[in-house]
Chain A
Amino acid sequence: MLHSRRTDYWTAAALMAPFVIIYGVLFVYPTIKMVELAFTNAPLIGPGKWVGFDNFVRLWNDRLFSVAFWNTLYFVLLSVVPGTLLALLVALAVNRLKGWLQSLVLAAFFLPYILPVSVVFRIWSWMFDKDFGVAQYAIAAFNDGQHVSVFRTIPLFMPAVALVTVWWCLGFSVLLYIAGLRNISVEIYEAANLDGAGRWAQFRRITWPLIWPVTVLVFTIQLILQFKIFDQVYLFAGLGARYDPTMVMVQYVYKQAFQMNKGGLAAAAACVLFLLIVVLSVLQYQLLRARGQR
């Protein structure tokens, strides 16, 4: 090499500097600080005293925290499982089409994904509006002609927000599935056709096993994403101005930190969320690696 080692170091330092500074200040420090804060009784801004595991004990005993935990799990279940299956179905349907028709149909399914959450919120609060929303025609048909205020009825809240979320995020999963379907060689299907295999047999024996790695990817990405749910739940709950019964984990952190001014307790809740996501990420990594070895 013509390069001297020394200039290499200096170049590396210059190129890495923006990254190191930004990550140091906005990622490493806040992460360490979060763990430290979790063991104190500090308010949001200002010093606190070391209290050991008190905050975690309080979380364990706090009814609102367990509500938030179970609501988050419930929402994840309602949004991720149907979202993944529906995405596969849509991808299979779109993949059959050709040319401009395919582009058009794909665009219809994908477009919601690029919208800001606030816009999705506005569109769906209008769709479900108790007095004038079009969805009320469908609801009335199943409910003795009565309109329902969907986002103010607690049992309906999470399913409705999950429905909106599936609508919003489906395009992402569909894209991944279509890429996966295109990777399956046509020859396999041709061979199966010659053998006289029907559509269902082809799906069962070829498509499903070969698309399985994409299913794992889509499922785990959505799982990790939806665990961090805040925006939709917060915005839709605002319609009824009643936040506690439909609280989710990030919202609990938000409430403790920014409304109750309990920085320590909020940080402890954030640590729990943090650990959950790390476990899920490691699980995802293992699942995706298992596919590589097979």
Chain B
Amino acid sequence: MTASADLAAPLATDAGARRLAGLRRLDLLGLGLTLITLLAAIVFAFPLYWGLITTFKPEYEIIRPGVALWPEHFTIENYVHVLLQTKIGYWYVNSLITSVAVTVIVIIMAAGAGYAISQLNFPGRQFFWWMILASFMVPIPALIVTHFVVLSQLGLINTLAGVVGPQLIAPVTVIIYKQFFDSVPKDFREAAVVDGANDFQLLFRIYLPMNWGVTTALAIITFIGAWNLFLWPFLAVSSEDKMNITVGITQVHDAFGVSYGRDLAVAMLAALPVALVYLVFQRRVTQAIMLSAGIKG
């Protein structure tokens, strides 16, 4: 590419004049493009806005024809109703317990395995690494049948532990930890070993703190993934009290009759934690997505 830059240099004055003339035209075009982009963004965000604003309307306004972008009578009655009349409290707590459990266990397991594979020499190290890379390919939804069989053998069907189980298979997390631990300079390790540190101290005092950002990013994305998961919690649990929020809001819908406002209010409450986590940790979420797609960010 430097070659083309060199070639362009003698022509710069000539092309420069053409460029200036072109610039004004480009600016108009640029403005047009920006406006189209903005319009597209508004159209794209509209369903989300429309869903949210509907929850603040009384039912008679919701079914009135026309597109009212703001409620005439602003009400939180829909939220009050679903909070008092549905089991959303249970579902929220269940989702919170299972998602936090998945996050904590996955991080501990992945950091430990990632460290061992990256830094220690032991028989089977290569085997485990290949197994992790291979497990990346296995479609978890294909395992629903045997997951159900195994968990019922363990007596964990219709329990929160049963919901957590299959979600702990997260090979990407191990792979990312291994890669980051690989790139910690060896000097740190050697200095600490001379000071008499053992591997657990190395892991908790050096390797993990040096990669704190990665841990936060992975924890956030694991939590969001666990909160949002539908298929397995839907299969693993049948009693209303044990359901996750993603399952509860779609499966127990008839319990409080058809009401658009309430259906949407309960959905908005289900989205609230992940939306908050995203808004607070935007950069980390982006980083985690890049990492899990194999792009270092």
Question: Interface of A with B (CB < 8 Å)?
Answer: 1-3, 5, 7-9, 11-20, 22-23, 25-31, 33-34, 37, 44-45, 90, 93-94, 96-97, 101, 104-105, 107-109, 111-112, 114-119, 121-124, 126-127, 129, 131-132, 134, 137, 167, 170, 172, 175-176, 179, 185, 187-188, 190-196, 199, 217, 221, 224, 227-228, 230-231, 235, 238, 250, 253-254, 257-258, 263, 266-267, 270-271, 273-274, 277-278, 281-282, 288
B267 close to A123 (CB less than 8 A): yes
Tally of chain B residues near chain A (CB < 8 A): 107
- Nearest-neighbour CB distance to chain B for A59, whole angstroms, equals 14
Interface centre among B131, B136, B165, B250 (most CB of A within 10 A): B250
B139 close to A93 (CB less than 8 A): no
Instruction: Report the Cα distance A185→B141, complex, angstroms.
Output: 40
- Nearest-neighbour CB distance to chain A for B285, whole angstroms, equals 7
B200 close to A11 (CB less than 8 A): yes
CB-CB nearest 9 A-B residue pairs:
A12-B122, A19-B113, A122-B267, A30-B146, A281-B137, A123-B51, A194-B8, A15-B112, A108-B41
B270 close to A116 (CB less than 8 A): yes
With A31-B146, A263-B145 known as contacts, the answer to whether A118 contacts B250 (CB < 8 A) is: yes
Other than the known A101-B34, A231-B230, what 18 A-B pairs have Cβ atoms closer than 8 Å? A14-B112, A15-B113, A18-B108, A18-B109, A97-B37, A105-B37, A108-B45, A111-B278, A114-B277, A116-B228, A122-B267, A170-B44, A188-B1, A194-B15, A195-B15, A196-B18, A250-B142, A254-B144
B137 close to A176 (CB less than 8 A): no
Instruction: Report the Cα distance A16→B33, complex, angstroms.
Output: 53
Instruction: Report the Cα distance A118→B131, complex, angstroms.
Output: 33
In the assembled complex, which residues on chain B have CB atoms less than 8 Å from the CB atom of A104?
41
With A26-B150, A114-B278, A277-B137 known as contacts, the answer to whether A105 contacts B41 (CB < 8 A) is: yes
With A132-B62, A194-B15 known as contacts, the answer to whether A23 contacts B135 (CB < 8 A) is: yes
- Nearest-neighbour CB distance to chain B for A37, whole angstroms, equals 7
- Nearest-neighbour CB distance to chain B for A183, whole angstroms, equals 9
Instruction: Report the Cα distance A34→B139, complex, angstroms.
Output: 12
- Nearest-neighbour CB distance to chain B for A97, whole angstroms, equals 7
- Nearest-neighbour CB distance to chain B for A217, whole angstroms, equals 7
Judge whether B80 is part of the interface by a CB distance below 8 angstroms. Answer: no
Which A residue sits closest to B274, measured CB to CB? A114
Question: Interface of B with A (CB < 8 Å)?
Answer: 1, 4-5, 7-9, 11-12, 15, 18-19, 29-30, 33-34, 36-38, 40-42, 44-45, 47-48, 50-51, 54, 62-63, 65, 67, 105, 108-110, 112-113, 115-116, 120-123, 125, 128, 131, 135-150, 152, 165-166, 168-169, 174, 193-194, 198-200, 203, 224, 227-228, 230-231, 235, 245-247, 249-250, 260, 263-264, 266-268, 270-271, 274-275, 277-278, 282, 285-286, 289-290, 293-295, 297
Contact of A124 among B47, B54, B128, B141 (CB under 8 A): B47
